[in-house]
Amino acid sequence: MNVYDVTNWKPRGKPLNVYEDIGAVINAMIKDIKARQTDQAAKPGAVIYIPPGDYSLKTRVVIDISNLTIRGSGHGFSSLSIRYNTDDTSGWHEINPGSSHIKVENTDGQNEAILVLRDGSPRIGAVVLENFCLDGTSFDGDQNSYINGKTGILIESDNDACRIRDMGMVYLEHAVVVRGADALDVSGNFLTECGNGIELLGAGQATRVSDNHIGAGPNGYSLLAENHNGLLVTGNNIFPRGIDSVHLRDCYRTNISSNRMHSFYPGMVTLEGTCKENLISSNMFERQVEGFAPFIGVGNGLGDDFGVVQVNGDGNTITSNHVTLIIPSDQVQPAGVTPTIFRIKRGDQNLVGANHVISNLGVYTVYLDADTTNSHVFDSGAEDQFHSDSDSYGFRATP
Pick between residue 7 and residue 338 the one whose CB is nearest to its own copies.
Answer: 7
User: In sequence order, what DSSP letters do the residues of 271-324 get, joined into one string?
Assistant: EESS-BS-EEES-EEEE----SGGGTT---S--TTS-SEEEESSS-EEES-EEE
What is the total count of residues that contact its own copies (CB under 8 A)?
115
CA distance 396 to 167: 45
Smallest separation, CB 98 to its own copies (Å): 3
In this structure, are residues 186 and 165 in contact, taking their beta carbons and an 8 Å threshold?
Answer: yes
Pick between residue 331 and residue 360 the one whose CB is nearest to its own copies.
Answer: 360
Pick between residue 182 and residue 303 the one whose CB is nearest to its own copies.
Answer: 182
Smallest separation, CB 100 to its own copies (Å): 8
* Single residue of 270, 321, 340, 385 touching its own copies by CB under 8 A: 321
Beta bridge partners of 272: 249
Span 189-208, contacts to its own copies by CB under 8 A: 190, 192, 206-208
Is 383 in a helix, a strand, or coil?
A: helix
Across the chain, how many H-helices and E-strands are there?
2, 40
CA distance 211 to 205: 19
Contact flags string 222-251 toward its own copies, x per CB under 8 A: -------xxxx-xxxx-x------------
* Single residue of 20, 32, 250, 379 touching its own copies by CB under 8 A: 379
Rounding to the nearest 10 degrees, give the CA dihedral for residues 300, 247, 250, 232: 180
Span 271-290, contacts to its own copies by CB under 8 A: 276-279, 281-284, 286
Q: Is the dihedral of CA 70, 20, 79, 170 positive or negative?
A: negative
Span 44-103, contacts to its own copies by CB under 8 A: 44-47, 51-54, 65-67, 69, 71, 73-79, 82-83, 86, 89, 91-101
Smallest separation, CB 282 to its own copies (Å): 4
- Tell me which DSSP letter residue 297 carries: T
Nearest CA to 193 among 171, 223, 173?
Answer: 171
In this structure, are residues 280 and 342 in contact, taking their beta carbons and an 8 Å threshold?
Answer: no
Pick between residue 14 and residue 41 the one whose CB is nearest to its own copies.
Answer: 41
Span 153-172, contacts to its own copies by CB under 8 A: 160-161, 163, 168
Smallest separation, CB 396 to its own copies (Å): 4
Question: Is residue 111 at the binding interface for its own copies, with CB under 8 A as the rule?
Answer: no
Pick between residue 39 and residue 142 the one whose CB is nearest to its own copies.
Answer: 39
Is 36 in a helix, a strand, or coil?
A: helix
CA distance 11 to 91: 41
Pick between residue 284 and residue 298 the one whose CB is nearest to its own copies.
Answer: 284
CA-to-CA separations, 135 to 56, 132, 160, 212, in angstroms, rounded: 10, 10, 26, 17
Pick between residue 149 and residue 294 the one whose CB is nearest to its own copies.
Answer: 294
Smallest separation, CB 109 to its own copies (Å): 26
Span 112-141, contacts to its own copies by CB under 8 A: 118, 120-122, 125-126, 128
In this structure, are residues 283 and 321 in contact, taking their beta carbons and an 8 Å threshold?
Answer: yes
Span 323-342, contacts to its own copies by CB under 8 A: 324
